[in-house]
Amino acid sequence: DWINDHGAQRVCALLSDAGYQVYFVGGCVRNDLLGVGISDLDMCTDALPARVMELAEAAGLRALPTGIDHGTVTIVIDHEPYEITTYRKDVQTDGRRAVVAFSDRIEDDARRRDFTMNALYADPTGQILDPLDGLPDLQARRVRFIDDADARIREDYLRTLRFFRFHAWYGDVAAGIDPEGLAACSANLDGLETLSKERVGLEMLKILSAPDPAPAMAAMAQSGVLTRILPGGDASKLAVLVHLEADLAVDSLRRLALLGGQDVAVALRLSKKQAKQLENLRDGMGSSATIGELAYRLGADQARNIAILRAVMFETPVPDGLERQIDAGAAAKFPIKPVDLMPGITGPALGDKLRELETRWIASGFILTREELLK
Ligand code: ATP
Ligand code: MG
C-alpha cells in the first residue's frame, strides 16, 4: 500500500523523470516482504542532495536539507515529510560514525548498510532489487551482517544493538541467532561505551517492544552485551513474563522493570516520565502494598503491571480476583477533605492526620465511610 502513497510516488516521479535512479530501501521493503507493518519510508537515489533540492523546488515543493552531511533531503508533500538519501559509500570511520562519500552506484550504497535483510531495494513499481543476496536471509529470518561482522561492528557499535533488535523482531527463534554475529558482538563490548546513553536506551526499548524479546535478550545476556549497557540487568525471567502478559498490550517499561539493574534511568537516559514509571514499578514490586492500594495510587495499568511482575519475581501465581481488586482501587475516592478536620486540627498536624486516615481507609479496602473515619 505504501508504495502507492501519493507523496512517495511524486518524489519518485520527480527523480526518475529527470533521469535519476530512485528506490525504496530498508525497513519498508523488508517489512513488506515479511507481511508486517512499516514504521517509516526510506528512499534513496543517485542524484546528489543539492540536485534533489533543486528538482523539488523547481516543482514548487518545499525541500529541507535535514541531514545534508548524510545526504538526506526532506521533501514536503501535502504537509507530509519524505526523506530521500543519496547513495553513499563508507570511506573511513572513527568507530562511532562512518565517514561517508556520495556514490552513484547502488552496490556501494548496499554494502555500507548493516544487515543483508536491510539492503533490499524496491523500485517505484515494487520490483525488488537484491544486490547482496538478502532475500534468502530474509526468507530464513536470519539477521546477518553484510561482509565481516567484526569489522562492521567496529565501524559503528550501534550495530551490535541493531543486531539484537532485528533478531528480536524478525529472527527465527528455532534457528537461533547468527553465531558469527553473536561472536562479533561479544568481541567488541568495549566499543559500546562510546555510544550515547540515549541511543542505547532507544535501541533497548525497541528491542523490548518486540512481541517476544526473550530469546534475543537471552542472547544479549550470554554475549555480555546486556550487562555492559545495563549493569546488574538480568534477563533470566523475561520469558516467564512474556508468557504471563500474553493478553496485555506490549509495554517495554514493564519488561525493563523486570530486568532491573543499577541506575537504569541513567544508563539508558530515560525521559523523566519513563524514569518515574520505572521507579513506581520497581518500588511496587518490592513493597507489600496491596493491589488495591497500588491501583488507587498509581492507576489500573501500573497496578496490573506490578501484580504480574511480582508473580514473575517471586514465582507466585497471579492473584485471584486481580481485576476486581484493581477496579476497586482505581475507582476509590478518599472521602475526607482537609476542611472536614478543621478548625480542630491545623498546620503540619493536618497533613499527618489526613495521611493517617487515608492509610486506615486503604487498609479497610476502601470500605470505611466519611462518618466512620471522622469518628
Ligand atoms: P525500522 O524503520 O523499521 O526501525 P529500518 O531497517 O528501516 O527499521 P532505520 O533505522 O530506519 O531502520 O534505517 C533505515 C536503513 O538504513 C536500514 O534498513 C539500514 O539499511 C540502514 N541503516 C540504518 N542504521 C544503520 C547503521 N547503524 N549501520 C548501517 N546501516 C544502517
Ligand atoms: Mg526505517
Q: What is the pLDDT of residues 280-303, one digit of tens each?
A: 999 999 999 999 999 999 999 999
Burial degree of 244 (CB within 10 A; 0-12, 13-18, 19+): middle
- Ligand 1 atom 11: residue of nearest CA: 27
Cα(167) to ligand 1 centroid in Å equals 14
Domain residue spans in the chain?
A: 1-139, 141-236+244-265, 271-332, 335-375
Spatial distance between the Cα atoms of 334 and 225, rounded to a whole number of angstroms: 47
Backbone torsions φ then ψ of 76, nearest 5 degrees: -100, 125
- 42, 84, 112: which to mutate for ligand 1, most atoms within 8 A of CB? 42
Mutational pocket test of ligand 1: of 72, 113, 195, 203, the residue with most ligand atoms within 8 Å of the beta carbon: 113
Ligand nearest the Cα of residue 158 is: 1
CB-CB contact of 120 with 185 (8 Å): no
Distances (CA, A) of 248 to 167, 275, 305: 22, 21, 10
How many CA atoms, within 13 angstroms, populate the side-chain half-sphere of residue 148? Answer: 4
Residue 258: which H helix or E strand, with range? helix 252-259
Query: DSSP labels for 309-373?
Result: HHHHHTT-PPPTTHHHHHHHHHH------HHHHTTTS-THHHHHHHHHHHHHHHHTTS---HHHH
Q: For residue 27, give the C-alpha cell.
A: 525497513
Q: Which residues line ligand 1 (CB under 6 A)?
A: 26-27, 39-40, 42, 113-114, 118-119, 156, 158-159, 162
- Is 30 within 8 Å of 138 (Cβ atoms)? yes
Q: What is the mean pLDDT of residues 258-275?
A: 97
> For residues 86 and 48, what is the distance between their CA atoms, to the nearest angstrom?
6
- pLDDT tens track for 316-374: 999 999 999 999 999 999 999 999 998 888 889 999 999 999 999 999 999 999 999 99
pLDDT digits (tens, 9 = 90+) for 82-97: 999 999 997 765 555 5
Partners of residue 324 on adjacent β-strands: none
How far lies 68's CA from each of 50, 74, 243, in Å?
9, 10, 45
Nearest ligand by distance to the CA of 30: 1
Ligand 1, from 23, 39, 89, 114: best to mutate by most atoms within 8 Å of Cβ? 114
How many other C-beta atoms are found inside a 10 Å radius of the C-beta of residue 320?
A: 7
Give the C-alpha distances (Å, rounded to integers) separating 342 from 310, 336, 349, 373.
Answer: 40, 11, 11, 14
Read off the pLDDT band of 179 (50, 70, 90).
very high
Residue 98 reports pLDDT greater than 60: no
19-75 pLDDT, tens digit per residue, is 999 999 999 999 999 999 999 999 999 999 999 999 999 999 999 999 877 899 999
CATH architecture type of domain 1-139 = 2-Layer Sandwich (3.30)
pLDDT of 198 over the 90 cut: yes
How many other CB atoms sit within 10 Å of the CB of residue 252?
A: 16
What pLDDT is attached to residue 69? 78
Q: How far is the CA of 26 from the centre of ligand 1 (A)?
A: 6
- Which pLDDT value is given to residue 70? 85
Peptide linkage before 343 cis (omega within 30 of 0): yes
Query: Would you call 126 exposed, middle or buried from its count of C-beta atoms within 10 A (0-12, 13-18, 19+)?
Result: exposed
Distance 115 CA to ligand 1 centre (A): 9
DSSP characters over 277-321: HHHHHHHHHHS---HHHHHHHH-HHHHHHHHHHHHHHTT-PPPTT
Phi, psi of 292 (to 5 degrees): -60, -45
Q: What's the longest Cα–Cα distance across the chain? A: 86
pLDDT in tens, 214-250: 999 999 999 999 999 999 999 999 999 999 999 999 9
Q: Which residues of 254-279 are buried (b: 16+ CB within 10 A; e: fewer)?
A: bbbbbbbbeebbebbebeeebbebbe
Smallest Cα–Cα separation from 102: which of 123, 85, 88, 122?
88
pLDDT at 186 over 90: yes
155 CA distance to ligand 2 middle (Å): 20
pLDDT value, residue 95: 53
| CATH architecture entry for 141-236+244-265 | Orthogonal Bundle (1.10)
- C-alpha 129/C-alpha 108 separation (Å) is 14
Distance 292 CA to ligand 1 centre (A): 44
Q: How confident is the model at residue 204 (pLDDT cuts 50, 70, 90)?
A: very high
Q: Which atom of ligand 1 is nearest to the CA of 26?
A: 18
Structure pTM? 0.93
- The 10s digit of each residue's pLDDT in 114-152 is 999 999 999 999 999 999 999 999 999 999 999 999 999
- Percent residues over pLDDT 90 in the chain: 93
